Amino acid sequence: MEIKKLNIIITLGFVAIIGILIAQLLWTRQAYNLEDEKFNQKVNVALLEVVEKLSGGKTSFTESPVQNMSNDYYVVNINNEFHPDVLEHYLKTEFTRFQINTDYVYAVYNCHSDKMLYGKYISKDQDESNNKVIKFPKHKNLVYYFSIRFPDKTAYLISSLRFWYVLTFALIIILLVYVYSIYTIIQQKKFSELQRDFINNMTHEFKTPLSSILLASEALTKQDAVKENPKLKTYTSIITDQGNKLNHHIEKILNIAKNDASGLSLKPQRIVLLPFIREIAETVRYKNEHISLELHIGENLSVIADEFHFANIIYNILDNSIKYCEKEPVIIISSHTGQKGLSLTFKDNGMGIPVKDMPHIFDKFYRVHTPKSEEVTGFGLGLFYVKKVVGQHGWKITVANNTGKGITTTLFIPF
């Protein structure tokens, strides 16, 4: 069902962006046509003014003297003799007045030679030494006329629509980023599903023989021969303890895989910190006789948390402090109340964490490579689980090396 919803969302988003992009392209094309029409109108009006001035106000045309022969080519009928220098002066004046700021070139028909006499290339940058050669065809029915051509008209119109093209380019970039993001999400989802399937299959294959081992070891401990032989009893207890430990690791992997798929199911309730942590500390002391645990927690402090997962957070932190200590572990648990919330700190005298590994300690399956970590069994899931539970509660967790030895883990619980 989730895959189907994801596909629908992806399809709708893709269609929406494509629709916006098509609309933008159509608007840009329409804007270009409007700009082209506006340019033609300005040129026509400007050339009519030039005709008016060259004829001295004595125009007698039955139709417009300005003919637009092609997209960038105009023919202007004067019906009277004129000097090219005067024409150039009027062209510059009128084009400046109508804000036609692009290069143009003009040519005048010479009735004596029956040829188009090339005029001059007028540049908007006032660089009149341009050597471009522009072709001007002869008009059959006119005698006193000149022609004008705008060689850079298309580039001029595009530059005037720069905003539209930038917006269109931005939309194309957004579309490409969207497609790449969707592709990445789909790939990550596939990898995640493969990983969960692998974990589920692997743990299932482990649990079946492990259950048989635990049943056999349990039956073995009830045998009289084992009860009477201390060595056999020790070996059997080792098999049982290690089997239970391995079973605990397998259950942890299964829970992580399940929680990745569906998220943690929390049942928040009010927990008084001191008795809650004291009970956990007594359990830890019972399993580890040489540990020193100090509690400095306010008596009336309480938090809203899921009891089961909160207990697992504390167990995992304490377990790491014990496992990664090269001498007798000393752990100090204290509370500090600030304006924004409650801080619960766990300070130990362990071996610390290398600076390069510090950003990755909460990553799934990540383990710090030290001689001690090679001796300690684990899959690198404890702190990943802690981070996940802390995040789902809306808390924060930080880890820092102490000045001397060990680390300090801080849980920040906002009010």
**H/E/C letters for each residue in 318-382?**
HHHHHHCCCCCCEEEEEEEECCCEEEEEEECCCCCCCHHHHHHCCCCCCCCCCHHHHHCCCCCCH
pTM of the model: 0.46
Q: In terms of Cα–Cα distance, which of 281, 230, 415 is closest to 340?
A: 415
User: 281-302: per-residue pLDDT in tens?
Assistant: 887 887 777 888 888 888 888 8
**Neighbour-count burial for 241-275, b at 16+ CB within 10 Å, e otherwise:** eebeebbebbebbbebbebbeeebeeeeeebebbe
State the pLDDT at residue 412: 92
User: 309-339: per-residue pLDDT in tens?
Assistant: 888 888 888 888 888 887 888 889 999 988 8
Q: In terms of Cα–Cα distance, which of 60, 133, 75, 71 is closest to 109?
A: 75
Q: In terms of Cα–Cα distance, which of 281, 292, 260, 242 is closest to 406?
A: 292
Q: In what order do the strands lie in the sheet with 145-149?
A: 66-70, 73-77, 145-149, 104-110, 115-122
Assigned token pair, 123: 């540049």
State the pLDDT at residue 215: 82
Average pLDDT, the chain: 79
As a whole-number percent, the residues of the chain with pLDDT over 70 amount to 83
Q: In terms of Cα–Cα distance, which of 160, 168, 169 is closest to 35?
A: 160
State the pLDDT at residue 133: 61
Alpha-carbon gap, residue 22 to 171, rounded angstroms: 10
Q: How many CB atoms lie within 10 A of CB 80?
A: 13
Could you tell me the pLDDT band of residue 1, with boundaries at 50, 70 and 90? very low
Alpha-carbon gap, residue 233 to 286, rounded angstroms: 22
In contact, 409 and 343? CB cutoff 8 Å: no
